[in-house]
Amino acid sequence: MDTDRADADETAGPGPDLGPRPGASAPSSAGARAASRVSSGASECGPPTILAYGGVVWEHDDRGRTIVAVVHRPRYDDWSFPKGKVEPGEAATATAVREVEEETGLRCTIGAHLGEVSYPTSSGAHKVVGYWAMQVVHRQPRPADAEVDVVDWWTVEDAADRLTHPQDRELLARFVASTATTGGATAAGITPAPDPTTARPARPPTT
């Protein structure tokens, strides 16, 4: 799981690309090239680089609106997209799928690559996070804990207003632009998810 400030001095070095975790499809060639760039590891000079990966998990609600999964982290009292640091020897796509499942209970397939966001941490390190659009193939309950206490589904419009960090709002705009320019989320290379095996998390009231 991701702990931006608590372990901001940690760095995650690159490992061999072992391919996506079972259940995750291979990224596009553009996504693979971008993941390779992000996986270059810490810089030999300057502040250390922390590498992380995550996903914008999306689906349509019963009104046909696009909704995205967000997490609340009590340690920071923020709302963000699920993400976390790469483990030694782990492929970028495998990290993204694993971290999303750990933080949300949602096992997902990899879709369109959405690029990277970067920002400084409180320790002075430089954090780079690569993201993919994702859809759910399996749901399981996730008890609240000290890392993530709420998993919620928001409309794109709500998320644009309520996400805490500017880099997450930038990422959301990329997701919207990607689906718009390719004729919709399905046309962007994301296949529809099967029927859920458990109830989806509660959604916030529309404000």
145 lies in which domain range?
Answer: 29-185
Which of 83, 76, 79 is closest to 166 using CA atoms? 79
Straight-line distance from the first to the last Cα atom of the chain, in angstroms, rounded to the nearest whole number = 30
Domain assignment of residue 24, yes or no: no
Domain assignment of residue 193, yes or no: no
pLDDT of residue 47: 82
10-residue averages of pLDDT along the chain (207 residues): 42 34 42 47 69 97 95 96 96 97 97 94 90 96 95 97 96 90 44 34 42
Domain assignment of residue 23, yes or no: no
Q: How many Cα atoms sit within 13 Å of 173 on the Cβ side?
A: 8
Distance set, CA 9 to CA 4, 47, 115, 130, 176 (Å): 9, 10, 24, 19, 33
Domain assignment of residue 3, yes or no: no
Condensed to tens digits (0 to 9), the pLDDT of residues 67-121 reads 999 999 999 999 999 999 999 999 999 999 999 999 999 999 999 999 999 988 8
Angle, in degrees to the nearest 10, between helices 92-104 and 29-38: 90
Number of domains in the chain: 1
Domain assignment of residue 194, yes or no: no
Domain assignment of residue 154, yes or no: yes
Domain assignment of residue 8, yes or no: no
CATH number, position 73: 3.90.79.10
Token pair for residue 152? 């919620």
Provide DSSP, 116-173.
Answer: EEEEE-TTS-EEEEEEEEEEEEEE------SS-SEEEEEEHHHHHHH-SSHHHHHHHH
Domain assignment of residue 11, yes or no: no
Residue listed under structure tokens 């372990």: 7
Contact at 8 Å (CB) between 98 and 20?
no
Rounded Cα gap, residues 141 and 144, in angstroms? 10
The model scores a pTM over 0.85 = no
pLDDT of residue 88: 93
What is the sign, positive or negative, of the torsion defined by CA atoms of 177, 31, 24, 14?
negative
